[in-house]
Structure 1
Amino acid sequence: MTDYKREIDLATLWPTVVAEAEAAARAFPMLADFYRRNIIQHDGFAGALAFVLAEKLLDRDAGGAAEQAEQLKQWRKYLAAQMALDPAIEAAAMRDLLCQLQSNASIKDHYTPLLHFASYQALQCHRIAHHCWHSGQRAMASYIQGRVVSLFGVDIHPGAKVGSGIFIDHAVGVVVGETAVIEDNVTLFQNVTLGGTGKGSGDRHPKLREGSFVGSGAVIFGNIEIGAGAKVAGGAVVINDIPAGTTVVGPKGRVLNNRD
């Protein structure tokens, strides 16, 4: 497998996904309907994303096959409508996908995150929930958040602000509080917590500035700032601001200087 995917851009991403899905469907007839339903039948990326997320969010305990089919149809229509109302959702989702392809050497095609990665799907569910939270649909936002916790083990409050080009690897155990801010091009690994300090209200969660990195198991508490390009090593506990471009290690969040 060549690494041509690393040179792909947003303009050619969706046509490439479709072409690869068609090739996979021909190569594996047992999966042909899966690729058709999730990718090939859709006119664009937004339609495919709405379908993939709809299948995750519907209540599979409600009714029989006919009821399930109708519920899936309603979810698809609803999710597509929310993305049409807020085009930034689709744009961010595409940049997230491109980021996955550029950052994860284990991916051998262009559609795997969309179809199979819990981290990617959970993040896109959050984008819908965030839109709902700020558009008078808080019951729906809370439902989506709860489904994401049950399905993926990822708990991102609908109020949290998340930029684009986000790479969440594995994602299981990720917790992000209501007033947290994650700017563009941030990387998070599994079991990361962006939590509060017990303050009942107000701005009480971390702010991760552009290009920062948080390793697996790191815990960041309070309304503090992780500066642009800063790195928080796995297992670190951080309760104070971290300057841009620095690295933090250890259970007490020790900042390394350039010599270190």
Structure 2
Amino acid sequence: MAERHPKVATVDPVWTHICEEARAAVRDEPLLGGFIHSGILHHATLERALSYRFSLKLASGEMSEQILREIADEAYATEPTIGQAARADIVAVYDRDPACHRFMQPMMFFKGYQSVQAYRIGHWLWARGRRDLAYFVQMRVSEVFGVDIHPNARIGKGIMIDHAHSIVIGETAVVGDNVSMLHSVTLGGTGKEDGDRHPKIGNGVLIGAGAKILGNIHIGERSRIAAGSVVLHDVPSCKTVAGVPAKIVGEAGCEQPALTMDQLIDDGV
């Protein structure tokens, strides 16, 4: 793969940083040497490492690691934006999650990051008409990570999903760049209607734990959705909504709520 990404391989600060962290981790904890070497240090690029991780985590008696590895390798080789988004997602998790202290942590330990990268391969398959295989990836991601993202959903880069348990993102949902969400978020429909029926999340939105955003509605850029809210109507940009059903309770409180991860609602909103 390295020869197919010459520029990334030559100047790739994210991957270089991950490899440096990996070597330090092996020195600090030799018992993890095999795990870290097979997951990181045996690979020439981030794409190759992610391809290995994808195949290892999603393989089952129904689909071998080798076949899944070939699928992922093809996806990364033919669509460089998948690898670019993976790097932006790593930086996003490192910047926004106070539990993340190293770049290597998301790709090795965090199911939110790993599930999004697997979704990206499923989306690549869907876009090429390989829909049954895309559904298989969706199924395995749900079984392994507890995250259910339809392969037709469109998700931007710089995504951080913290904890990621019970995330549901529907078929026609759109998630912009630099969005942060916590566990148990649903971007769903409101019934049995067909067609375009899921939310459109603008850039820089922060979605709190347990929030449900339902229907073909638009959440404006840099807004905040409070934890536990049920959102049924459009939300303007730079606002905070809370409640069941959700209502506007103030401004977003800062210029980039998805980056600051400030979820407190007080008189300053």
More off after superposition, 89-98 vs 75-84: 75-84
Task: State the match for 2:230 in structure 1.
Answer: 237
Query: Aligned partners of 2:44 and 2:170: how far apart in 1?
Result: 35
> Aligned-pair distance for 1:199?
4.1
Letter in 2 for 1:50: S
Secondary structure of 2:213 counterpart: strand
* 2:20 corresponds to 1:12: no
From 192, 205, 209, give the equivalent of 1:212.
205
From 167, 175, 178, give the equivalent of 2:168.
175
Q: Residues 2-39 of structure 1: CA distance to partner in whole angstroms, max 9, x if unpaired?
A: xxxxxxxx941111110111121223222111111110
From 77, 90, 104, give the equivalent of 1:84.
77
Query: Aligned partners of 2:71 and 2:27: how far apart in 1?
Result: 31
Which residues of 2 match residues 26-175 of structure 1 at below 5 A? 26-59=27-60, 61=61, 71-175=64-168
Unaligned runs of 5+ in 1: 1-9, 63-67
Q: Residues 123-174 of structure 1: CA distance to partner in whole angstroms, max 9, x if unpaired?
A: 0111000111110111110000000111111111011000000010111111
Number of aligned pairs? Answer: 243
From 172, 195, 200, give the equivalent of 2:188.
195
> Aligned-pair distance for 1:74?
3.1
> Are 2:241 and 2:250, in contact at CA under 8 Å, matched by a contact in 1?
no
Query: Aligned partners of 1:77 and 1:30: how far apart in 2?
Result: 29
Letter in 2 for 1:22: R
Query: Aligned partners of 2:132 and 2:171: how far apart in 1?
Result: 15
> Are 2:155 and 2:176, in contact at CA under 8 Å, matched by a contact in 1?
yes
Secondary structure of 1:191 counterpart: coil
Query: Aligned partners of 2:76 and 2:113: how far apart in 1?
Result: 16
Task: State the match for 2:26 in structure 1.
Answer: 25
More off after superposition, 71-80 vs 196-205: 71-80
> Aligned-pair distance for 1:85?
1.3
> Aligned-pair distance for 1:54?
0.8
Letter in 1 for 2:141: V
Letter in 2 for 1:12: P
Query: Aligned partners of 2:250 and 2:57: how far apart in 1?
Result: 45
Query: Aligned partners of 1:195 and 1:28: how far apart in 2?
Result: 43
Secondary structure of 1:175 counterpart: strand
Letter in 2 for 1:25: V
Query: Aligned partners of 2:40 and 2:176: how far apart in 1?
Result: 29
Q: Residues 36-94 of structure 1: CA distance to partner in whole angstroms, max 9, x if unpaired?
A: 111001001000000111101111x36xxxxx9xx323322221111111111111011
Query: Aligned partners of 2:53 and 2:26: how far apart in 1?
Result: 17
TM-score, with structure 1 as normaliser: 0.90
Q: State the percentage of identical aligned residues.
A: 39
Query: Aligned partners of 1:171 and 1:106: how far apart in 2?
Result: 14
| RMSD between superposed Cα atoms in Å | 1.5
> Aligned-pair distance for 1:226?
0.3
> Aligned-pair distance for 1:246?
0.4
Query: Aligned partners of 1:109 and 1:222: how far apart in 2?
Result: 37
Secondary structure of 1:52 counterpart: helix
Task: State the match for 2:255 in structure 1.
Answer: none
Query: Aligned partners of 1:27 and 1:74: how far apart in 2?
Result: 34
